[in-house]
Amino acid sequence: MLFRTLADPTRRAIFEQLCREGEQTVGTLTTHAGISQPAVSKHLGVLKQAGLVRDRHEGRQTHYRAQLGALAPLIDWTREMGGFWERRFDQLEDLLKRMDQ
Amino acid sequence: MLFRTLADPTRRAIFEQLCREGEQTVGTLTTHAGISQPAVSKHLGVLKQAGLVRDRHEGRQTHYRAQLGALAPLIDWTREMGGFWERRFDQLEDLLKRMDQ
DNA sequence: TCGATCCATAGCCAACGGGTTATCAATTGC
DNA sequence: GCAATTGATAACCCGTTGGCTATGGATCGA
């Protein structure tokens, strides 16, 4: 889900801006995104579904902010891949040691 | 490019297997992938283009292995996002300090 | 040498995704 | 109360993508 959500450049740009600038309204995000407001809303919906942003309603505007903790699974995944690699390396090392005897 | 490449579950599964099991032939990967061999080849092509795997030809079979270093930009990106967040937090802290005086 | 195996490529198709415009509900200012 | 603003949703269009089958080139075994 995370990878798919962050795969789109426009959507990633929106998320990055929220990380950089903090809370932003849909209108502000739209002016920077270079696409129509409905398109921005759609992207925000996807980001929200992935847990990457949260929204807060204030009158007729909606403020969105990045939810950085949602990136944790991504960090875990990369660590896991690295772990697999290291484990294989250890096995190779063991094998070489046994061959050395 | 990285996010887009890893967005597809099947492709990610292939990459994960290469991380777990080390070098694998196209045939072996195909048996585990549950899709046709051409589909696997296509995925491997995309992974290769993204730098996530390298291939080695040996007779009529092609061995693929994960190139873990290619994940570095991804790790950098998450760190950058975290950095943005912290900077904003620091600014907020400063602001509160000034208001406290 | 000849059939079998392994993999890559080509060509095709259905589904998905990201964009648009149109519209509507809710809120706000006059 | 009414017009204007804000953002979400609906309906639609079209390019991309991930799957398939068919095929061909290269290598290996007999």
Task: Give me the percent of chain B exceeding a pLDDT of 70.
Answer: 88
Catalogue the long-range contacts made by B46-49 (C-beta closer than 8 Å, 24 or more residues apart). Answer: B46/B5, B46/B11, B47/B5, B47/B11, B47/B14, B47/B15, B49/B5
Compute the C-alpha angle B77/B79/B85, nearest 5°: 110
Average pLDDT over residues B12-18: 98
pLDDT band at B92 (very low <50, low <70, confident <90, very high): low
List the domain range (segments joined by +) for residue A62.
2-100
State whether B71 and A84 contact (CB < 8 Å).
Answer: no
- The Cα–Cα gap between B85 and B93 comes to 12
Check residue B87 and give its pLDDT: 75
Write down the H helix ranges in chain A: 2-7, 9-21, 26-33, 37-49, 72-100
pLDDT by residue for chain A (101 residues), tens only, comes to 999 999 999 999 999 999 999 999 999 999 999 999 999 999 999 999 999 999 999 999 999 999 999 999 999 999 999 887 777 766 666 666 767 66
pLDDT for A91: 66
Taking the C1' atom of every nucleotide in all shown strands and the CA of A43, the nearest one is C18
**Beta-carbon contacts of residue B59 (< 8 Å; ≥ 6 apart):** none
Q: Name the residue of chain A whose CA is nearest to B65's CA.
A: A85
Residue B88 CA to residue A24 CA, distance in Å, equals 13
How large is the average pLDDT for residues B41-47? 98
- How many domains does chain B divide into? 1
CATH at residue A65:
1.10.10.10
> A59: burial class by Cβ within 10 Å (0-12, 13-18, 19+)?
exposed
**DSSP one-letter string for B62-96:** EEEEE-GGGGHHHHHHHHHHHHHHHHHHHHHHHHH
Strands B53-58 and B61-66: antiparallel
The pLDDT confidence band at residue B91, using thresholds 50, 70 and 90, is low
Please give the pLDDT value at position A79: 94
pLDDT of residue B45 exceeding 80, the answer is yes
For residue B82 the two structure tokens come to 């975290």
Question: The complex's ipTM?
Answer: 0.89
State the Cα–Cα distance between residues A16 and A71, nearest whole angstrom.
12
In this structure, the dihedral spanned by the alpha carbons of residues B20, B21, B26 and B28, taken in order and rounded to 10 degrees, is -120
What is the average per-residue pLDDT within B27-50? 98
Instruction: Evaluate if residue B100 carries a pLDDT over 80.
Output: no
Query: Rounded mean pLDDT of B51-58?
Result: 97
Q: What is the pLDDT of residue B18?
A: 97
Per cent of chain B over pLDDT 90 is 80
Q: Is A54 in a helix, a strand, or coil?
A: strand
pLDDT digits (tens, 9 = 90+) for B69-88: 999 999 999 999 988 777 77
List CB-based contacts (under 7 A) with strand D.
A 25-27, 30, 37-38, 41-42, 44-45, 55, 60-62; B 4, 7-8, 10-11, 35-36, 38-39, 42-43, 46, 58-60
Distance from CA of B8 to the nearest CA of A (A): 7
pLDDT top residue among B56 and B91 = B56
Longest dimension (CA), chain B: 76
